[in-house]
């Protein structure tokens, strides 16, 4: 009897195991299919989906942090010395806390919207108040050099007793001040900002093709930028980096607006969630000699050493002619000649690189740091004379130290921002995935 019971138990166990195996072979693929379809449905940008709730949310904070380089020896620099810089920061602001406006769904499966802009100072996340004083390049003098006839500029400099350097508060440098040199024109790195709008943006909803979700179709009514007179450099490709198409492939680079291209670096644990970390490709800011695709960004043969200089991108074509250049902080990935031109630089990938942490199944960006450095160029000129203690002879001396070509990359004022965005998954969605996986 005991033997029969033992035999029956073994048979029952074998049958149960076979059933589990069969059911597992059936249910696991079915479960995967259900997960995939659920993700695709919830990733579409339309009212009622998780993607829409995250996309339209006003409560998601993006913190923008600014660092400045304070010039320690402005008088000596005017006499030809190498600039000595001390980094000051961060000064932190909460941005993108306002809901998108004029959201309109269009017939071609895109949605258009305006992005309200605002910044609220966060004292608890800053090293000091907005009234902190920074010794930096005179934005008016540097900007006017490229924008005004030199004889007019000379008269203005003399009348206003202007200098190559100035002392301004953090608030003034970021959000604007009236510059007497430019007839009271509002000057500032992000002026105007508060109360303004970015857009219109037109992005794909993903309803017709989930691989296109969040990709920008048009910006301000145009399908290209129109600044560079080149189809490649004028491309509007990718998303705004807040989300991507679901089911990411490590081998496929991500594109986001601003001409940034990121490739997979590693899988990272972010508060218990495995995310793919994508970092900026070195080729993005490489010289045209290394990356021929970048040749259309090279507009000035002198300042770029015949397009051999790496690490900077000229923006004068989209900044009304102002001598503005962007790079990574501390000229990370830039040519050595840029980093060796001043005292106080310490480029470090962990502190200065741009990266995205993206949840691979949903395509949602959970964390990112977009780090940008703003530079202004100031070149030798006869118009900047005794009033700024900067003779052409001295300027040439400085240019020979900083760059062996006529024209000086100013590294007296740098600003870069860390945008850190954290999006919480809806627990219901995670519960569905977890339940099916079990």
Tens digit of pLDDT for each residue in 322-331?
667 788 888 8
Q: What pLDDT sits at residue 421?
A: 34
Q: Tell whether the model's pLDDT for residue 2 goes beyond 80.
A: no
Beta bridge partners of 114: 101
Between CA 140 and CA 95 the distance in angstroms is 27
Average pLDDT for 372-393: 50
The H-assigned helical ranges of 44-113 are 50-56, 74-78
Q: Write out the two tokens for 279.
A: 């970092």
Which distant-in-sequence residues (6+ apart) come within 8 Å of 71 by Cβ?
77, 83, 84, 85, 135, 136, 137, 165, 412
Q: Write out the two tokens for 33.
A: 């299919």
Lowest mean pLDDT among 43-52, 65-74, 277-286: 277-286
Q: Quick count: other Cβ atoms within 10 Å of Cβ 36? A: 13
> Which of 395-420 are b and which e, b meaning 16 or more Cβ less than 10 Å from the residue's Cβ?
beebbebbbebebbbbbbbbbbbbbe
Tens digit of pLDDT for each residue in 339-348?
888 888 899 9
Q: What pLDDT sits at residue 386?
A: 38
Tens digit of pLDDT for each residue in 92-142?
998 877 788 999 999 999 999 998 988 899 999 999 999 999 998 887 777
Whether omega for the bond prior to residue 200 falls within 30 degrees of 0, making it cis, is yes
Q: How many angstroms separate the Cα of 214 from the Cα of each of 20, 47, 195, 242, 296?
A: 41, 14, 25, 8, 27
Element holding 267 (H helix, E strand):
strand 260-270
Beta bridge partners of 63: 94, 420
Residue 72 pLDDT level (bands cut at 50, 70, 90): very high
DSSP secondary structure letters along 366-431? EEEE---EEEEEE---TTS-GGGT--HHHHHHHHHHH-SSSSEEE-S----EEEEE--PPPHHHHH
Average pLDDT taken over every residue of the chain: 73
Between CA 168 and CA 208 the distance in angstroms is 51
Domain ranges of the chain: 61-97+119-194+224-422
Asked whether the beta carbons of 150 and 381 are under 8 A apart, the reply is yes
pTM above 0.85, yes or no: no
Residue 397 pLDDT level (bands cut at 50, 70, 90): very low
Q: What pLDDT sits at residue 6?
A: 53
Q: Quick count: other Cβ atoms within 10 Å of Cβ 100? A: 18
Task: Work out whether the CA dihedral 199, 200, 202, 203 comes out positive or negative.
Answer: positive
Angle at 190 between CA 158 and CA 203, to 5 degrees: 145
Lowest mean pLDDT among 53-67, 85-99, 205-219: 53-67
C-alpha radius of gyration, the chain, whole number: 27
Residues in the chain: 438
Element holding 355 (H helix, E strand):
strand 355-358
Lowest mean pLDDT among 159-163, 237-241, 376-380: 376-380
For tokens 């990935």, what's the residue? 333
Asked whether the beta carbons of 280 and 386 are under 8 A apart, the reply is no
Tens digit of pLDDT for each residue in 46-62?
999 988 888 887 666 77
Residue 434 pLDDT level (bands cut at 50, 70, 90): very low
């Amino acid at each position: 009897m005991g033997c029969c019971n033992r035999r029956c138990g073994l048979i029952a166990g074998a049958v149960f195991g076979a059933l589990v195996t069969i059911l597992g072979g059936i249910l696991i693929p079915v479960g995967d299919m259900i997960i995939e379809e659920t993700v695709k449905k919830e990733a579409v940008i339309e009212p009622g989906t998780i993607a829409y709730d995250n996309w339209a949310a006003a409560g998601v904070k993006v913190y923008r942090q600014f660092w400045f380089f304070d010039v320690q020896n402005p008088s000596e620099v005017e006499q030809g010395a190498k600039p000595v810089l001390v980094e000051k920061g961060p000064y932190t602001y909460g941005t993108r806390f306002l809901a998108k406006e004029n959201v309109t769904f269009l017939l071609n499966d895109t949605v258009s919207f305006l992005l309200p802009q605002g910044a609220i100072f966060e004292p608890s996340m800053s090293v000091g108040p907005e009234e902190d004083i920074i010794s930096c390049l005179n934005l008016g003098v540097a900007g006017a050099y490229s924008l005004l006839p030199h004889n007019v500029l000379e008269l203005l400099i003399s009348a206003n007793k202007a200098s190559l350097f100035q002392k301004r508060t953090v608030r003034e440098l970021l959000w604007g001040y009236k510059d007497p040199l430019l007839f009271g024109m509002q000057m500032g790195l992000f002026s105007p900002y508060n109360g303004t709008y970015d857009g219109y943006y037109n992005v794909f909803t993903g309803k017709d093709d989930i691989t296109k979700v969040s990709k920008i179709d048009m910006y301000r009514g145009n399908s290209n930028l129109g600044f560079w007179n080149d189809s490649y450099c004028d491309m509007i490709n990718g998303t705004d980096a807040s989300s991507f198409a679901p089911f990411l492939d490590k081998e496929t680079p991500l594109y986001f607006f601003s001409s940034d291209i990121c490739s997979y670096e590693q899988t990272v644990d972010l508060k218990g969630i495995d995310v793919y970390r994508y970092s900026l490709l070195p080729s993005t800011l490489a010289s045209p000699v290394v990356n021929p695709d970048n040749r259309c960004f090279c507009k000035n043969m002198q300042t770029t050493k015949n397009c051999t200089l790496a690490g900077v991108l000229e923006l004068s074509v989209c900044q009304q002619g102002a001598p503005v250049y962007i790079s990574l902080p501390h000229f990370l990935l830039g040519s050595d000649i840029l980093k060796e031109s001043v005292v106080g630089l310490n480029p470090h990938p962990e502190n200065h690189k741009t990266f995205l942490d993206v949840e691979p199944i949903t395509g949602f960006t959970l964390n990112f740091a977009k780090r940008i450095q703003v530079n202004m160029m100031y070149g030798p000129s006869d118009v900047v004379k005794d009033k700024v203690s900067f003779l052409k002879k001295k300027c040439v001396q400085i240019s020979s130290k900083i760059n062996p070509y006529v024209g000086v990359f100013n590294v007296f004022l740098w600003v870069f921002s860390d945008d850190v965005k954290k999006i919480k998954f809806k627990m219901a969605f995670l519960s569905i995935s977890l339940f099916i996986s079990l």
